[in-house]
Each structure stands twice: as structure tokens, then as C-alpha cells.
Amino acid sequence: MNYNFDEIIDRRNTGAIKIERCKALYGSEDVLPLWVADMDFRTPDFIFEAIRERCEHPILGYSMPPKEFYPSLMNWISDHHQWEVKRSWIGFLPGIVPGLAFAVQSLTVPGDAVIVQPPVYYPFFHVVKNNNRELINNPLKLVNGKYEMDFEDLERKITPNTKLFILCNPHNPGGRVWPEETLKQLADICAKHNIIVVSDEIHADMVLDGHKHVPFAAVSESAARISLTFMAPSKTFNMPGLISSSYIIPNDVLRHKFVDFLEASELIGGNIFAYAATVAAYEKGEEWRKQMLDYVQGNIDYVVDFLKTNIPQIKPMYPEASFLVWLNCKELGMETDELFDFFARKAGLGLNKGTTFGPGGEYHLRLNVACSRLILKQAMEQLAKAVKERV
């Protein structure tokens, strides 16, 4: 089956965050909203079919995950990531960002230090600060156009008070697929200092051609012993509104602490539609995933080529995973706030401001390219026109 990713779908009046918040963020409802990290592609039919099939039953009562739920997840991880996970390690999680907060709450106490690697997905900062933990930044280094981890800085900043490390694997917003050797080195350092690693791997199934996702917990026994891994089909199959994620925790002690917290907080269960959609995604979604990634790859190539030819002042970081492109706009000669305003008011584009991703985000904006290429072409042409008129 050939899927149509050129289709333009009107998301107005559906409660879509990327549209409903445009007026507040950008001062206009008319900007092209290329910021929130969901896709404007039609959620695949097999997801809707699974939901419709469940709706044929006349009762939507309290429900357990279907018997296929965990085997489908385990098989998917084995097939795609060559990681053999045991059924006892995994469970349902009502979203990855909530999972990060649950990990902070269950495995640390107020005042403990938690390390993150900016520039990084901004909820990482929120789950630390909002829970009265100390935030420690271990900034990434830019080496030959790619982010690398700064292990010397990491070692300097670790203290006896450091209890947790939140890893973005693959990285958002830079799209970096962390090499196995990098993850092994991180695991060795954290294991030496008894630091627990929480690995957000929501983009694991969106790795682009020529790259391979490596689950953090799979790189060594040390990594498995100190880690919690969070995965979800939500980004890959454009179903984030269903709030369906999973935790994978090989260490019995860590898992019991985490699960005890979920049970005490009555956070252990999901909903019928999340269960059904997840099974459908993992059992029927491979062909759709491949075609979607091919289209996303084409969109990334289009943006990179367009900027190189028409707006060379903007330097995109070529992503190795996902549909997000990190734009270095320093050569446009504007500070970050001015850049954000220029893109919105002059180019009519709603992008993420780089400084929300922490230190290293200055002069940057994050662009979501998971949309029809016609929309993306319109966005690039609007941007080129605005830059030309500014000169």
C-alpha cells in the first residue's frame, strides 16, 4: 500500500496545541505552525481500525491491557533494536514526560542533583526544577557539525549529591543518534558514581538512513543495572493524544521503587484505546513507518538544500533521527528573541525558540518538517522572502 503524505489536513477546531496556542506565542493565528513535535500526516488507518473495532463493543469499562500488548512491544524491540527484554521488566506508562517526573519523584529526594545535557528537550528542566531537585547542566559540545557528550565536564560536575541523569536518546533537538561507544562511556561513568540513568527513547523508531538506534540499557551490564528506559509509539505513528508509553527496567530494585510509586499514586493503568492502538502500531505499522521516514528524509533534504542555496546564513544541523531540524541562525545577526519574532512576524512561521532548550540554544530555532512538502516549500519561500526584504 502506498500512503499519501502530501495530503494537507486542516487541524483547526480539533484542539491541536500547535494551532490553539499560536496567538499567544506568536501574536497571530496566521503563522504556519511548525513547532509542536507531532506530525501533520494522517494517523495511519490501522490505528483507527483498532479503535473502531474496540468501539464496536457496547461497553467501555475498566480494562486490562490485551494479551497482545506486551508481546507486541517485546517483539518490536527485538526486531528493531536487537534488545531482548523480559516481560517482568516492562509496564505501561501514561506518557514519557510524566514518566520522567515519576522517576525524579520516586528515585530522588528534594535537594538531590539531577544532570541533563543541554540544549535538550525543555521538559527535562521542568521535571527537575518543579520537584525541587538541583539542576546540573552538562552541555553538549559541537564537533564537526554534530553534538558530542563532554565527559570531562560531566566528571567535574558529579558530586555525592548527584543521583540521576536524564538522557535524550536519540537527542532532541539535535537529532543525534548516540553511538554505542558514547553510551558505554556514559554508563561506565554513571555506574562508577551510582547515578541512575533515565533514558527517553521516544524517537528510537524514527532513525534515518545510515544510522542505528542503540538502547542505553543494552550497551552493557552496567547500563542495564542503573537504567530506566522509556519508549512509545506516539511519535512514530502520530498518536501522542492517546498517551501510550512503556517503561523497561531490568534492575529489580529500581523497578520495584518505580512501580511502587506508580501504584501508590494510582498511575499504573492506561486506557482502552491506547492499548488497542499500541498493538496495532507494533503489529501492523512497519510499512507505514518506512514510507513515512522516506518522506521525512525527503523533507529534511529539501530544507537543507533550500537553505544552502537561498539562505546560507542559516545553518541546519542534519538530523540522524526524527523530523526535527535544529537551525543555527546566528549569521542573520539577531539575538534569539529577535529571531523568534522575525520568523513569526516577518516570515509567518511559528518555530520553537532555541533558548527554551537551555544553554547552547542561543541563536537557534527548532523546525518540525513532518508536514506536506507543499507546506514546507511555502514555509521556506516565506522565509527567503523575509530575509531578502530585511537586507
Say how far apart CA 141 and CA 150 lie, in whole Å.
6
Please give the single-letter amino acid code of residue 87: R
Which fold would CATH assign to domain 17-44+286-390? Aspartate Aminotransferase, domain 1 (3.90.1150)
Question: In terms of DSSP H, where are the helices of the chain?
Answer: 17-20, 22-26, 45-55, 69-81, 96-107, 123-129, 151-157, 180-192, 221-226, 252-264, 272-284, 286-310, 336-341, 373-390
Query: Domain 60-284 adopts which CATH fold?
Result: Aspartate Aminotransferase; domain 2 (3.40.640)
Q: How far is Cα 75 from Cα 81, in angstroms, rounded to an integer?
A: 10
Task: Return d(Cα 335, Cα 374) in angstroms, integer.
Answer: 30
**Is this model's pTM higher than 0.95 or not?**
yes
Single-letter amino acid, residue 276 = A
Query: Does the pLDDT at position 146 exceed 80?
Result: yes
**Residue-level pLDDT at 337:** 97
State pLDDT tens for residues 57-79: 999 999 999 999 999 999 999 99
CA-wise closest residue to 313 among 293, 297, 329, 327:
329
- For CATH 3.40.640.10, the residue range(s) in the chain are 60-284
Asked if 149 and 142 count as a contact pair (C-beta separation under 8 A), the reply is no
- Tens digits of per-residue pLDDT, 13-42? 999 999 999 999 999 999 999 999 999 999
357-377 pLDDT, tens digit per residue, is 999 999 999 999 999 999 999
Mean pLDDT of the chain: 97
- Binned at pLDDT 50, 70 and 90, residue 268 comes out as confident
Angstrom distance (rounded) from CA 34 to CA 39: 9
192-228 pLDDT per residue, tens: 999 999 999 999 999 999 999 999 999 999 999 999 9
Q: Whole-angstrom Cα distance, residue 297 to residue 204?
A: 16
Give the distance, in angstroms, between the CA of residue 264 and the centroid of all CA atoms in the same chain.
28
Cβ pair 38, 19 in contact under 8 A:
no
Start-to-end CA span in the chain (Å):
47
Cα gap 119→216, rounded to integer Å: 19
* pLDDT confidence bin for 391, thresholds 50/70/90: confident
Do residues 9 and 40 touch, judged by C-beta distance below 8 A?
yes
Q: Is 349 helix (H, G, I), strand (E, B) or coil?
A: strand
Q: Please, where in the chain does CATH 3.90.1150.10 lie?
A: 17-44+286-390
> Which pLDDT score, from 0 to 100, does residue 269 have?
85
**In the chain, what percentage of residues exceed pLDDT 70?**
100
234: CB partners within 8 A, 6+ apart: 202, 240, 242, 243, 244, 245
For 232-256, write each residue's pLDDT tens digit.
999 999 999 999 999 999 999 999 9
